[in-house]
C-alpha cells in the first residue's frame, strides 16, 4: 500500500514537471542547488492560520527577493513569477490546506476575497509591480499551469506538500489571485482553452473557475462580465451539460456580486467593447432575453434573478460599439429581435419589439437591413411599423437627426410600400398583413415628408436671419463711416 502511494506521488511530480517544462520552468521545477541541499529532516514549523502567518510577512523582505530575482533573471519572466510563488509558499508553509473545504462550504461573497484579504496592501502592491513587468502571454501560461496543478491535486483527494515551496497550494492560489487581479486580460485571452480543455469540464471544477473569474473582475469589472458571458452563461442553456441548481446558483451569485457595484452600469457601458469584441455579443444577448422572458409555463425560480439584472445587461448589450468590432452588432440584434417578435411569446415579443425599434432609431442603417428581412418577417414588421407610428414623437428626433439618416429612412419606407403594393396586387394568404403594413407606411411617409418640409423651411429662415444680420451690420458700419 505504501509503495503504491509513493508511486502515485512520483507520477504526480512527473506530471507537474511536464507542465513546468511547457511553461518554460524546468529549472524552477527542481529548485536551486541551495534549495535542493536543504536538510529534509529539519524540524517543521508549527501549524498556524493563514491570517497569523500572513501578518508576519515582511514587505521589505519580499522587495529584496524580487530585486535579486530581477538582477539574476530579468530576461526570464517565468523565473520571476516562480520566485514570487516561492516567497509566499516558503513563508506560509506552516499554513494548513483547507481550500477544498473552503470552496465547498463558503459562499462566493466570502470566497472571492480568499486568500488576498489576509495580505497587507504593501505586499500586494510589490507583487503587482512585478506582475506588470511580465508579458501577458506568459501570465496566461502561468494561469493555466497553476490551475492545472490545483485541479490535479483536488482530483487526488489527498494533498501532499511538495518539496518546492513554489508548488504549494498556498503559493498557487496567491500567485493566481495576484496575476488575475493585476492583469485580468491574461484570463480573458485563455477563455477558449477553459471552455475546450477536458480538465476544466464538470461541475466540480466550476467553483475554481468562478473564483478565478471573480479575481479578474476585482481588477477589471468588464473582464469579469466578459468571462461570465462567454464561459458561464452558455452553461445555463446547454442541454448536454445540464446545469445543476447548485451550479446555477453559483453562476448567478457571481453575476449578482459584479453588478452590485454602484458604478457597474457606468463602467460596463463605457467598456462594452474589449479588444475588438463585445462584452455581451448579440448571440449572448439573445440567450439573456430568452432566460428573462420565458413562456409563462416555463418560468423558473431563477427567472426573477434574471429579471433583476436584465435592464443593466441590456444597456451594456446595446451600448454604442467601436469601429474595431466591425460595427454590425446592432444589425445582428435587430435581426434576432425581429425573429423573436413573431415567436408567439407575448412578453418576449413586446420586449423584442422595443429592442428592434431602438435598434433602427439609434442606427438608421438597420432600416437597410430591415428592407432585406421585410418579407421573411412580415408579421413582425407589421407590429414594428405600427409601434413606430404610435411612438413617432419619441423616435422621430433620432430618425430626423441628419439629412442622410432621413434619406435612409425614406428610402426604406418607399421600398416597403413597393413590396406591399406588389403583394396586394398579386393577392395571397398574407394580403391582409401587407394591407396593414401599407397603412402604417403611408402614415410614416406623410410624416417624413412633412418633417422634411419643415426642416427646409427652418434652414431657409435660419439662412435669411443670418444674412439679414450680416446686411444690418454692414449698413450700420457704412452709416457710421459716413
Residues 464, 468, 469, 470: is their CA dihedral positive or negative? positive
Q: Tell me whether residue 410 is in a domain.
A: yes
Q: Tell me whether residue 130 is in a domain.
A: yes
CB 347 within 8 A of CB 308: no
Give the pLDDT confidence of 160-196 residue by residue, as tens digits: 667 788 888 889 999 999 999 999 999 999 999 999 9
State the chain's mean pLDDT as an integer.
85
CB 38 within 8 A of CB 156: no
Q: What are the CA-CA distances from residue 1 to residues 7, 57, 153, 263, 372 (Å)? A: 10, 40, 19, 57, 72
Q: Which residue has the higher pLDDT, 89 or 47?
A: 89
Q: Tell me whether residue 337 is in a domain.
A: no
Q: How much is the pTM?
A: 0.85
What DSSP character marks residue 189? T
Distance CA 429, CA 419 (A): 15
Q: Tell me whether residue 211 is in a domain.
A: no
Q: Tell me whether residue 353 is in a domain.
A: no
Query: Which of 67-76, 279-288, 319-328, 413-422 has the least mean pLDDT?
Result: 319-328
How far is Cα of residue 420 from the mean position of the Cα atoms in its chain? 42
pLDDT at 30 over 90: no
Q: Tell me whether residue 13 is in a domain.
A: yes
Q: Tell me whether residue 327 is in a domain.
A: no
Sequence-separated (6 or more) residues with CB below 8 Å from residue 237: 287, 290, 291
- Residue range(s) defining the domain that contains residue 63: 1-34+48-183
For the chain, the domain total comes to: 2
Sequence-separated (6 or more) residues with CB below 8 Å from residue 358: 318
Q: Tell me whether residue 254 is in a domain.
A: no
Residue where a domain terminates, one of 183, 206, 225? 183
Q: Coil, strand, or helix at residue 273?
A: strand
Of the pLDDT bands very low, low, confident and very high (cuts 50, 70, 90), residue 256 is very high
Residue where a domain terminates, one of 144, 166, 183? 183
Q: Coil, strand, or helix at residue 368?
A: helix
Residue where a domain terminates, one of 129, 150, 183? 183
| Strand partners for 277 | 274
Amino acid at each position: 500500500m505504501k509503495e503504491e502511494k509513493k508511486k502515485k506521488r512520483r507520477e504526480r511530480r512527473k506530471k507537474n514537471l511536464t507542465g513546468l517544462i511547457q511553461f518554460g520552468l524546468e529549472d524552477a521545477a527542481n529548485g536551486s542547488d541551495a534549495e535542493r541541499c536543504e536538510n529534509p529532516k529539519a524540524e517543521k514549523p508549527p501549524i498556524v492560520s493563514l491570517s497569523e502567518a500572513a501578518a508576519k510577512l515582511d514587505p521589505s523582505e519580499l522587495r529584496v527577493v524580487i530585486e535579486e530575482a530581477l538582477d539574476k533573471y530579468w530576461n526570464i519572466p517565468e523565473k520571476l513569477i516562480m520566485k514570487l510563488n516561492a516567497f509566499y509558499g516558503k513563508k506560509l508553509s506552516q499554513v494548513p490546506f483547507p481550500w477544498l473545504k473552503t470552496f465547498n462550504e463558503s459562499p462566493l461573497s466570502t470566497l472571492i476575497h480568499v486568500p488576498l484579504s489576509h495580505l497587507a496592501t504593501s505586499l500586494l502592491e510589490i507583487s503587482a509591480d512585478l506582475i506588470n513587468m511580465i508579458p501577458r502571454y506568459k501570465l496566461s501560461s502561468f494561469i493555466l499551469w497553476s490551475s492545472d496543478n490545483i485541479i490535479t491535486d483536488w482530483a487526488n483527494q489527498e494533498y501532499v506538500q511538495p518539496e518546492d515551496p513554489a508548488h504549494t497550494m498556498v503559493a498557487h492560489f496567491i500567485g493566481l489571485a495576484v496575476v488575475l487581479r493585476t492583469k485580468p486580460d491574461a484570463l480573458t485571452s485563455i477563455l477558449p482553452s477553459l471552455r475546450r480543455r477536458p480538465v476544466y469540464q464538470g461541475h466540480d471544477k466550476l467553483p475554481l473557475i468562478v473564483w478565478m473569474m471573480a479575481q479578474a473582475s476585482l481588477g477589471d469589472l468588464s473582464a469579469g462580465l466578459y468571462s461570465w458571458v462567454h464561459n458561464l452563461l452558455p452553461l445555463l442553456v446547454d442541454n448536454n451539460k445540464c446545469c445543476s441548481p447548485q451550479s446555477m446558483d453559483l453562476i448567478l451569485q457571481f453575476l449578482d456580486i459584479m453588478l452590485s457595484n454602484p458604478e457597474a452600469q457606468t463602467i460596463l457601458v463605457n467598456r462594452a467593447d474589449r479588444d475588438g469584441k463585445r462584452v455581451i455579443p448579440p448571440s449572448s444577448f439573445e440567450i439573456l432575453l430568452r432566460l428573462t422572458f420565458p413562456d409563462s409555463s416555463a418560468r423558473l425560480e431563477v427567472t426573477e434573478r434574471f429579471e433583476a439584472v436584465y435592464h443593466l445587461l441590456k444597456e451594456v448589450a446595446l451600448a454604442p460599439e467601436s469601429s474595431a468590432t466591425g460595427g454590425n452588432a446592432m444589425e445582428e440584434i435587430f435581426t434576432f429581435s425581429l425573429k423573436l417578435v413573431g415567436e408567439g411569446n407575448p412578453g418576449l415579443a413586446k420586449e423584442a419589439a422595443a429592442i428592434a425599434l431602438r435598434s433602427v432609431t439609434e442606427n438608421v442603417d438597420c432600416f437597410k437591413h430591415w428592407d432585406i428581412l421585410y418579407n421573411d418577417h412580415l408579421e413582425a414588421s407589421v407590429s414594428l411599423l405600427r409601434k413606430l407610428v404610435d411612438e413617432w414623437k419619441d423616435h422621430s428626433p433620432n430618425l430626423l437627426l441628419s439629412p442622410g439618416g432621413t434619406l435612409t429612412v425614406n428610402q426604406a419606407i418607399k421600398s416597403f410600400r413597393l413590396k406591399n403594393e406588389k403583394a396586394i396586387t398579386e393577392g395571397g394568404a398574407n394580403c391582409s398583413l401587407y394591407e396593414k403594413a401599407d397603412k402604417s407606411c403611408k402614415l410614416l411617409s406623410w410624416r417624413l415628408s412633412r418633417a422634411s418640409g419643415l426642416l427646409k423651411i427652418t434652414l431657409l429662415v435660419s439662412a435669411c436671419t443670418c444674412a439679414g444680420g450680416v446686411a444690418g451690420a454692414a449698413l450700420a458700419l457704412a452709416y457710421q463711416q459716413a
